[in-house]
Amino acid sequence: MPVEVLSFIGGTGPEGLGLAVRFAAAGHEIVIGSRSPERARQAVEKIEARVPGARATGMVNQEAVGRGDIVFVTIPFAGHRDTLEALAPAIGAKVVVDVVSPLSFGDGKIAAIAVPEGSAAEQAQALLPEAQVVAAFHHLDASELMRVERPMGADVVVCADHQEAKKRVMALAEEIEGVRGLDGGPLANSRYLEQFTVVLLSLNKTYKARTSLKIAGIPSSPKG
């Protein structure tokens, strides 16, 4: 796959950073976005520590989005609407990969938050009508992503209404060692991906584990 510039809105958090580390290891150029240039620079140092020779830079979200061929949304759902509204002009018609699961953690209980548009990814598509929104990577645990020397051994189910963008993101997912990208259908299916995160987090708690998703019954791709 050609080298692409991958920008991460909120790439200073564990999930954005973990994905950035894996894609830096695959040879892509990384742009970490943050509300703070200083935090973005610190995140870049963490990438460089794990992937010597990584091509990574850090800047505020607005600038990071402008640089990216593909823009990842890796922020909590609490900031999803306001952040995307503010960045919409900079995002324009780009491919946007929404990794967000809308969850609440009140009273020690994890639950899915009802989203008026159906899902976080559908909210993103409504806020960014020109963009090609793809929902993916919800079930790759951040701390496992950071252990870049270990293959992930997981499937990434990808949902989108834009077929070319979906294929591009499935191919990108398979650049992470041990990941198989699967076509999960239209963007409307993203609500089930996002909500299933609740089940995985519950399993993690019960079994003191770091679970991911693996679908049986589909012949494996060479990388699966």
Ligand X SMILES: NC(=O)c1ccc[n+]([C@@H]2O[C@H](COP(=O)([O-])OP(=O)(O)OC[C@H]3O[C@@H](n4cnc5c(N)ncnc54)[C@H](OP(=O)(O)O)[C@@H]3O)[C@@H](O)[C@H]2O)c1
> How many Å from the N-terminal Cα to the C-terminal Cα in the chain?
17
Contact assessment for residue 153 and residue 176, using Cβ atoms and an 8 Å cutoff: no
Pick the piece of the chain touching ligand X (CB under 6 A) from 77-85, 106-114, 149-157, 163-171: 77-85
- The 3-state DSSP class for residue 155 equals strand
Closest approach, Cβ 186 to ligand X, in A, equals 20
142 lies in the binding site for ligand X (CB under 6 A)? yes
What is the number of other CB atoms lying within 10 angstroms of the CB of residue 69?
16
- Exposure string for 126-160, b = 16+ CB within 10 A, e = fewer: ebbeebbbbbbbbbbbbebbbebeeebebbbbbbb
What residues between 93 and 122 interact with ligand X by CB under 6 A?
A: 99-101
How far, in Å, CA of 54 to CA of 213, rounded? 28
Contact assessment for residue 124 and residue 96, using Cβ atoms and an 8 Å cutoff: yes
Pick the piece of the chain touching ligand X (CB under 6 A) from 109-117, 137-145, 149-157, 182-190: 137-145
76 lies in the binding site for ligand X (CB under 6 A)? yes
Pick the piece of the chain touching ligand X (CB under 6 A) from 11-19, 121-129, 154-162, 164-172: 11-19
Closest approach, Cβ 6 to ligand X, in A, equals 15
Cβ distance to ligand X smaller for residue 141 or 174: 141
- Chosen residue from 122, 141, 155, 174 binding ligand X by CB under 6 A: 141
Contact positions toward ligand X, by CB under 6 A? 10, 12-16, 34-36, 39, 74-79, 83, 99-101, 138, 140-142
